Structure 1
Amino acid sequence: MAFEAMFEPIQIGKLTIRNRVLSTAHAEVYATDGGMTTERYVQYYEEKAKGGIGLAICGGSSVVAIDSPQEWWSSVNLSTDRIIPHFQNLADAMHKHGAKIMIQITHMGRRSRWDGFNWPTLMSPSGVREPVHRATCKTIEPEEIWRVIGNYASAAGRAKKGGLDGVELSAVHQHMIDQFWSPRVNKRTDEWGGSFENRMRFGLEVLKAVRAEVGPDFCVGIRLCGDEFHPDGLSHEDMKQIAKYYDDTGMLDFIGVVGSGCDTHNTLANVIPNMSFPPEPFLHLAAGIKEVVKAPVLHAQNIKDPNQATRILEGGYVDMVGMTRAHIADPHLIAKIKMGQIDQIKQCVGANYCIDRQYQGLDVLCIQNAATSREYMGVPHIIQKSTGAKRKVVIVGAGPAGMEAARVAAERGHDVTLFEKKDVIGGQIT
């Protein structure tokens, strides 16, 4: 089989994952009804499982406490037992197709919004305001620190009770854990700040509490950045030291690595590399961290092509490749590779329509694939041949809608003629 490296199973903790490809945590903006994984949410992920993905980590920025509001991105709400039966539906849908499913859990600290929801008092290690989201925050008190640590543990317990396969602690994108890590944000002089060990303490206590809650066999990982890209921020060498510190505890089953911090407009643009970036622009950061840790390393950012993914895996740079936007564009990517239908893959072009919508609080959609996130409406990714009479179909206008209509009609077996007055097709996206 071509692309063999992509299809090798991998052991992560007690889990055997059927291949080396995952969809990493991202904010889908589908968890409505107070942060529940609704039928739309389930079908969005189930389509990836049908398409052959090995692992999906759902729920980017899924919150563990009510003072980290979930309404902003309609993220998953792990602060209530209401979520448990919803998780059971999600887990069943993924497992019946052979895929594993985890969820990212976090407290966003200062990187949130105070307005328009339950008017929470935002907290950070030292009350330092975030440049991008600009919300004012207070300095978190010691008793609140321990309460939030308990919130993480309870959230992980709910994920386990719901039948999910694991949790990923978010210590990336300037959420609460990595806010404690960073001397730019953490100015404390007590046991939670100052020295390296003190700045690591919050994340360590979270990890210990989570592991105590879920036991040794439930999969627990962490996601961190490989370099904050700030003159006074955490460098690549700093992040290697941090990764090794947590890896040495023996409590982590995997480490996810991405490039860049996320609390200025420039670094925010790095996090979801658009079409102006080269392929895998931050792979070297993940590879650098892999050199110093024992746990499997996962990496995503601009990995869109099976040749690219195979080269990365064969080179031993990381252990699993995240093809997240590639699976938004085509959740059947893995199945098409297996069937030798590479030319039928809908390619992610890095337009970032998905992330642009998310930052407006809108549901994630795809400029390349009209079926993405509309599975719950019955919009299919795989078009079946019509059982009725073959027809002649004329479509005027070869923009995205016209081309999609032509494609669907042709795949259903009809004779299609597509008219366009210009000498190029594509309409307003050419």
Structure 2
Amino acid sequence: MANNVHPLSEPLTLPNGTKIKNRFFKSAMSEALGTKDHNSSPALIKLYTTWAEGGTGLVVTGNVMVDRSALGESGNVVIEDERDLEMLKKWAKAGTKNDTHLWMQLNHPGKQSPRTLSKKPVAPSAIPLSGNLKRFFNEPRALTTEEIQDLIIRFGNAARVAQKAGFTGVQIHGAHGYLISQFLSPFHNRRSDEWGGSLENRMKFVLKVYQEIRKQTGANFPIGIKLNSADFQRGGFTEEESLEVIRSLADAGIDLIEISGGNYENPMMQGSNVKESTKKREAYFLEFATKVRNIVSTPLVVTGGFRSEKAMTDAVAEGEIDMVGIAKPLALMPDLPQQIFQGTYQTIQLKPTKTGLKWLDKSASMLEIVWYEQQLARMGNGKSPNPDHSVWLALLNTIMTNGTAVFKKRRG
């Protein structure tokens, strides 16, 4: 198809009037390319130049933390103030080339801060992570009311700095078991004050975060959110609750909603336990997106599973979603949108990241994160991605850099 008639090349106008040139959305991936002081780096500038030149309409950064004492991993970028503003400006300038939108994803890990980084992480309630994850993360303590208020302001401050640096929007990370997701979940949030209990109370934190960002950035600055369709965890955040949160965020004026699901105790966002009917349509959360469509008019993105041009095109052409969320394929094919518009794209085949050793492959999500982070690092160093990069070599490189603690601290 010619570029000017392809459904995925159609621009999208957000409710606040912001125009995005096409329907491709690069979802957040952890880069781990921040400096030892948790500032942005030349590698991030080069990486995001590559994506901007590849034709994606809206690119979202990996999660940027709002508190230096609460890291998801050692390579996180953190924004607490304007100390890194000049490098942030260079990052924003690089990522907005070619009329690309670059949004910063803002996050706080809550209890999902590895024990190598947090002696006593914070969470809505002092509930430890379950299962195999328990030994990698220290038991959290419950946040005080004053700390909750401080965190809300931190999200707003980070968004204001991002806006000043030239990022064209921000995305709140409200999914995958991080702090906002923890507040929303009745399993993880067992508070008895105004921040817990009823869904109305549990969603108060995310609504206050949104309102603070809006207050500090103004009405015309795009604010999106990544939200779970459900946690897929017994006693956790349900689809019905997610729909209510989405309705409230839409009423509050959120500009774009990215739908995902699961957490690191049940990683549905990585394609585990996918139904056959879902595999045919590729994307994991399209059925839930249809339910969202019935209650709000806010533009929607679904990320996870898209591989073929047909599945991407059909989902947008049939009105199921407004933008196609892509992550892993853009780590191997950064010009994927351009290839589709030029008619040269062939469906990408992603190889499983496995070593063949059962005990090691039980840490499949860790291996995958390590392998894909090294693809991003290659692009950050001006090299092309290498789809044939050895999983063993990726693991060896990471152990040489981080030591055996890699098994404890790698997160998505």
With normalisation by structure 1, the TM-score equals 0.79
- Does residue 373 of the first structure (1) align with residue 377 of the second (2)? yes
Counterpart CA distance in 2 for 1:226 and 1:130 is 20
2:177 matches 1:178: no
Other-structure match for 1:188: 191
Give the Cα separation in 2 of the matches to 1:224 and 1:201.
15
Distance 1:175 1:290 in 2: 25
Distance 1:244 1:363, change over 3 A: same
Find the counterpart in structure 2 of residue 364 from structure 1.
373
Change (3 A) 1:127 1:274: closer
Indicate if the aligned counterparts of 1:67 and 1:120 stay in contact, CA closer than 8 A: no
Residue number in structure 2 paired with 1:78 = 79
For residue 147 of structure 1, the aligned residue among 122, 129, 150 is 150
The correspondence for 2:305, drawn from 302, 306, 328, is: 302
Matches of 1:86 and 1:78 in 2, distance apart? 12
Corresponding residue for 1:200?
203
Checking the alignment, whether the CA contact within 8 Å between 1:275 and 1:351 is kept in structure 2 is no
| Pairwise CA distance, 1:376 | 4.4
Residues in 1 aligned to 2:285 and 2:225: alpha-carbon distance in whole angstroms: 18
- Letter of the structure 1 residue corresponding to residue 185 of structure 2: S
Tell me the equivalent position of 1:124.
123
Question: 2:213 — aligned with what?
Answer: 210
TM-score with structure 2 setting the length:
0.83
For 2:174 and 2:159, the matched residues in 1 are separated by 15
- Seen in structure 2, the aligned counterparts of structure 1 residues 233 and 336 have a Cα distance that, compared at 3 Å, is same
- Deviation, 1:162, is 0.8
Give the match for residue 10 of structure 2.
8
> Per-residue displacement from partner, 1:256-277 (whole Å, max 9, x unpaired)?
1013x2141xx12x22227987
Q: Secondary structure at the match of 2:187?
A: coil
Measured at CA, do residues 11 and 355 of structure 1 come closer, stay the same or move farther in structure 2, by a change above 3 Å? farther
C-alpha displacement of 1:288: 1.8
Asked if 1 retains the 8 angstrom alpha-carbon contact of 2:258 and 2:301, the reply is: yes
Q: How many residues align?
A: 369
Q: Which residue of 1 aligns with 2:271?
A: 273
Letter in 1 for 2:379: E
Gaps of 5+ in 2: 355-363, 391-412
RMSD in angstroms over aligned alpha carbons? 2.6
Counterpart code for 2:121: L
Q: Select which of 247, 253, 264 maps to 1:244.
A: 247
User: Which residue number corresponds to residue 52 of structure 2?
Assistant: 49
The answer to whether the 8 A contact 2:49-2:97 is kept is: no
Deviations 1:55-110 (A, max 9, x none): 100123x210123125x251221124233222211221122322110011011111
Give the partner amino acid of 1:257: I
Deviation at 1:230, TM superposition (A): 2.0
**1:408 alignment counterpart:** none
Instruction: Name the SS for the 2:62 alignment partner.
Output: strand
User: 1:18-417 residue pairs with structure 2 within 5 A?
Assistant: 18-60=21-63, 62-69=64-71, 72-115=73-116, 117=117, 119=118, 121-131=120-130, 132=133, 133-250=136-253, 252-259=254-261, 261-264=262-265, 267-268=266-267, 270-273=268-271, 278=279, 279-343=282-346, 347-349=348-350, 351-352=352-353, 356-357=366-367, 359=369, 364-366=373-375, 373-380=377-384, 400=388
Deviation for aligned residue 1:168? 0.7
Which has the higher relative contact order, 1 or 2, with Cα contacts under 8 A spaced 6 or more apart? 2
What's the CA shift string for 1:214-268, capped at 9, x where partnerless?
A: 1111111111111221232222122111111121112x11111013x2141xx12
Which SS does the other structure have where 2:28 is aligned? coil
Q: Distance in 2 between matches of 1:348 and 1:43?
A: 25
| Superposed displacement of residue 321, structure 1 | 0.6
Mapped partners of 2:331, 2:384: distance in 1: 14
Q: Say if 2:230 and 2:237, in contact at 8 Å, map to a contact too.
A: yes
Say if 1:301 and 1:322, in contact at 8 Å, map to a contact too: yes
Deviations 1:328-357 (A, max 9, x none): 1101111222222124x7x24152589644
- Kindly provide the amino acid, as one letter, of the partner of residue 44 in structure 2: Y
One-letter identity of the residue aligned with 1:365:
Q
Cα distance, 1:373 vs structure 2? 3.4
Larger Rg: 1
Distance (Å, rounded) in 1 between the aligned partners of 2:351 and 2:103 = 25
Shift of 1:140: 0.7
